[in-house]
Structure 1
């Protein structure tokens, strides 16, 4: 996953955790605007989430943040 996407994902996780606590769930769609203006980056996130890690549609934001920070 490219660095800019990793940074954005961590920012989104931090924001969601701050708003709703450690049990908040997210999907990779949370990293994007409603308008799909960067399909290649969306697919990169989808591959990381679905193909590489076989994650459920919703996962805990703390789990995703931890995985990203570890470089998984």
Structure 2
């Protein structure tokens, strides 16, 4: 996983946890805007989420953050 994606995941998870608490769920789409402006990074996130870790569509942000640390 690229440092860019790791940073993005940590930032988004921290923001969501701060806003909604430790039980907040997210999907890998949370790391991207509605406009697909970086398809390579989106595919990297999807591969990491779906193929590498076989995660459900929604997972707790705390779990995702722990996986990237």
Fold shared per TM-score above 0.5: yes
Distance in 2 (alpha carbons) for counterparts of 1:51 and 1:66? 18
Gaps of 5+ in 2: none
Q: Structure 2 length as normaliser, TM-score?
A: 0.98
Mapped pair 1:17 → 2:13? no
Query: What TM-score, normalized to structure 1?
Result: 0.94
**5+ unaligned residues in a row in structure 1: which ranges?**
none
Q: CA deviation at 1:35?
A: 0.2
Whether 1:41 aligns to 2:41 is yes
After TM superposition, the runs of 4+ consecutive aligned structure 1 residues lying more than 4 A away are none
